[in-house]
Amino acid sequence: VQLQASGGGSVQVGDSLRLSCTASKGSFPGSFPVHAMGWFRQAPGKEREFVGAINRRDGNTLYDDSVKGRFTISTDNAKNTVYLQMNNLKSEDTAIYYCAGREGRNIVPLRSGVADYWGQGTQVTVSS
């Protein structure tokens, strides 16, 4: 399973950005049991932190408090893609964003960074 994150860029405070995480063939419903997908980020000099996660079967989501109400995770299983819609971006959202997946449907372990597959990162820079 390979995950490809994209959509990063440089924006201003208050702007929006949508990240995408596309999985290689064989990793989505009907072909492979990777149903729990998550987003993480790592700012310079800081440890990687959980952003949010989604169960692609039932749409159930989980978010870190720092992004709740501003970020939304969704999935398009037909396109093998999970999205991270980021609104009202703040300077502290600047980081490299990673997507990850784990086999099964339980998204709770993702909060602790427990994942089976990781994508490469995409840089998000928010400036004032």
Cβ neighbours for 126, distance < 8 A, ≥ 6 positions apart:
10, 11, 12, 13, 15, 89, 90, 91, 92, 93, 94
Q: What is the DSSP letter of 104?
A: B
- What pLDDT digit, counting tens, does each position of 50-72 carry? 999 999 999 999 999 999 999 99
Quick one: tokens of 94? 């600047």
- What pLDDT digit, counting tens, does each position of 115-124 carry? 999 999 999 9
Q: Are 38 and 53 in contact (CB under 8 A)?
A: yes
Q: What is the DSSP letter of 91?
A: G
pLDDT tens-digit profile, the chain (128 residues): 789 999 999 999 999 999 999 988 555 555 556 889 999 999 999 999 999 999 999 999 999 999 999 999 999 988 889 999 999 999 999 999 999 999 888 999 999 999 999 999 999 999 99
Instruction: Check the CA dihedral 26-116-61-8 and report its sign.
Output: negative
Picking from 61, 54, 66, 52, the residue whose alpha carbon sits closest to that of residue 113 is 52
How deeply is 72 buried, as exposed, middle or buried, from its count of CB atoms within 10 A (0-12, 13-18, 19+)?
middle
The rounded distance, in Å, linking the Cα atoms of 116 and 51 is 17
